[in-house]
Amino acid sequence: MKIVRQLLFIFASVALLSGCEEDDKCTAGTGGNLTLVVRPQHHGTTIPNQDAYRDTIMIKFNTQEFPGANPSSYDLVVVGDSGEDHVHVEGLTCGDYYIYAVGLDTAIMAQVFGGMPYSTDQTSGELNVNVPVKE
């Protein structure tokens, strides 16, 4: 009877361990070595940052769904540097993000905005992300 219990214990242990897979899915957030180089683009043209009108990039972690246009709905808000045609979003980890961009297209003097889901399993380096925006 003791041997039967031991065999059952071993069988149950093996079954439990084989059913457990290591979760290698990335968890989006800060604290990593990944930089997104985000370029808001209106009709395929990048919206540059200017002194008075700087692009704002809002990032929601661990989602692919649009959380709305309110900045308080996002986990991270980054404003671009004047004179650049992109916004650096530094210190991220791999994972799922929703990226929302707001800027001013000075060619038509209109505010433009838009967003898109973005996923990456890359853990370091720079990734270029073009975000389509509209008026």
Give the model confidence (pLDDT) of 96-128 as tens digits. 999 999 999 999 999 999 999 999 999 999 999
Residue 36, number of CB atoms within 10 A of its CB: 22
The answer to whether 115 touches 55, Cβ cutoff 8 Å, is: no
**Where do the DSSP E strands lie in 21-121?**
30-42, 45-46, 56-61, 76-79, 87-92, 95-105, 110-120
pLDDT of res. 23: 53
The answer to whether 77 touches 58, Cβ cutoff 8 Å, is: yes
Q: Which fold has domain 30-133?
A: Immunoglobulin-like (2.60.40)
Report pTM: 0.81
pLDDT-based confidence at 6, cuts 50/70/90?
very low
Higher per-residue pLDDT: 73 or 4: 73
Q: Would you list the domain boundaries of the chain?
A: 30-133
Region 6-25 average pLDDT: 44
- What does the mean pLDDT of the chain come to? 87
Q: How far apart are CA 16 and CA 24, in angstroms?
A: 19
